Structure 1
Amino acid sequence: VRAALNLTPLGFVQRLRIERARHLSATTDLTSAEIALRVGYANAETLRSLLRRERRRS
């Protein structure tokens, strides 16, 4: 994973979760807490923190 995408395995999984969360946010009426749970995070704050970090990187 690292060589092909320049990501650690954890980074790869986080990116997949974030992409899924963005999709759910754009296509459903789920709350951020519900989206966080659906993509594997314990709470919405964790997801928001990762989304902010991703935005700063791009």
Structure 2
Amino acid sequence: MPSRQIQWLTNNGWEYVLTGARRPIVGRVYARLKLAGVKPSATNAVVETWTLDLSRVG
């Protein structure tokens, strides 16, 4: 239930945004940092740019 999810996220200090359907969304990088025990901040929560590396494909 979204209301219980919102309550849990709020009680445990997680940041989230609500969709138009009032469902909570937590960012992927933010969640990984929180689960790793790292306090997310603006400097360590920057998403790494991903590029396709085909150099090892034979």
The normalised TM-score by structure 2 is 0.22
